[in-house]
Amino acid sequence: MLKYSAVLSIAVAVSMASALSEAKVSPEEADHLGKDLTCVGAEAAGNAAGTIPPYTRKYVGEVPGWTAPTHSGAHPVDPYKDEKPILVITAANAKEHSENLTAGQLAMFERYPETFKINVYTSHRDFAYPETVCERAKWNATNAEIVDDGMGYTGLGNTPFPIPKSAIEVLWNHQLPYRAWTEDVVRDLASVQPNGDIGWGRTHGICLSPASSPTGRPHTDDKVSSYCMNEVQLPLRESGNTSVNHEPYNYAAAPRVAWTYNTGTRRVRLAPGYGFDQPLGGSNGAMTIDSDRLFNGSPERYDWELIGKKEIFIPANGYKVNTKDVTYASLLTPHHANPDYMRYELRRVWVIKAKLKEGSRHLYRERVMYLDEDTWHAVIADFYDNRGKLWKHSFVNYYYHPDMSAWQAGASFYHDLSSGQYVGYTLVQEREKGPIINKGGYEPSFFTPDMLRARGR
- Tell me the pLDDT tens digit for each residue of 181-192: 999 999 999 999
User: Is it the case that residue 108 has pLDDT exceeding 60?
Assistant: yes
User: Is it the case that residue 21 has pLDDT exceeding 60?
Assistant: no
Instruction: Give 10 or 162, the one with higher predicted confidence.
Output: 162
Residue 215 is predicted with a pLDDT of: 73
**Do residues 211 and 414 touch, judged by C-beta distance below 8 A?**
no
Residue 183 is predicted with a pLDDT of: 98
Residue 4 is predicted with a pLDDT of: 29
Average pLDDT of span 122-140: 96
**Do residues 391 and 373 touch, judged by C-beta distance below 8 A?**
no
User: Is it the case that residue 19 has pLDDT exceeding 70?
Assistant: no
Residue 216 is predicted with a pLDDT of: 67
Of 254-258, 363-367, 453-457, highest mean pLDDT: 363-367
Q: Residue 213 — pLDDT band, cuts 50, 70, 90?
A: confident
CB atoms within 10 A of CB 246: 20
User: Is it the case that residue 317 has pLDDT exceeding 70?
Assistant: yes
Instruction: Give 2 or 33, the one with higher predicted confidence.
Output: 33
Residue 211 is predicted with a pLDDT of: 85
- pTM for this entry: 0.94
CB atoms within 10 A of CB 106: 18
Question: Of 263, 183, 269, 187, which Cα lies nearest the Cα of 228?
Answer: 183
Q: Which CATH architecture is the domain 4-456 placed in?
A: Clam (2.50)
User: Is it the case that residue 396 has pLDDT exceeding 90?
Assistant: yes
Residue 272 is predicted with a pLDDT of: 87
71-88 per-position pLDDT tens digit: 999 999 999 999 999 999
User: Is it the case that residue 14 has pLDDT exceeding 50?
Assistant: no
Using CA atoms, how far residue 407 sits from 170, 255, 261, 286, in Å, is 17, 27, 31, 25
User: Is it the case that residue 1 has pLDDT exceeding 60?
Assistant: no
The single-letter code of the amino acid at 285 is: G
Q: Residue 7 — pLDDT band, cuts 50, 70, 90?
A: very low
What DSSP designation does 309 have? Answer: E
**Do residues 48 and 89 touch, judged by C-beta distance below 8 A?**
no
Instruction: Give 17 or 53, the one with higher predicted confidence.
Output: 53
Average pLDDT of span 93-103: 98
Percent of all residues in the chain with a pLDDT value above 90, rounded to a whole number: 88
Average pLDDT of span 150-159: 91
Q: Residue 214 — pLDDT band, cuts 50, 70, 90?
A: confident
Residue 18 is predicted with a pLDDT of: 36
Domains in the chain: boundaries: 4-456
Q: Residue 432 — pLDDT band, cuts 50, 70, 90?
A: very high
Question: Of 371, 365, 356, which Cα lies nearest the Cα of 392?
Answer: 365
Write the DSSP assignment of 120-145 as a string of letters. E------B---HHHHHHHHHHHHH-E
Q: Measured between alpha carbons, how far is 368 from 355 in angstroms, rounded to an integer?
A: 9
Using CA atoms, how far residue 270 sits from 95, 381, 445, 448, 449, in Å, is 49, 30, 17, 11, 9
| Distance between start and end Cα atoms, the chain | 40
Write the DSSP assignment of 87-109 as a string of letters. EEE-TTTGGGGGGGS-HHHHHHH
Average pLDDT of span 250-269: 94
User: Is it the case that residue 451 has pLDDT exceeding 80?
Assistant: yes
414 by DSSP, 3-state: which? strand
Residue 217 is predicted with a pLDDT of: 64
Which residues face 408 on adjacent strands? 399
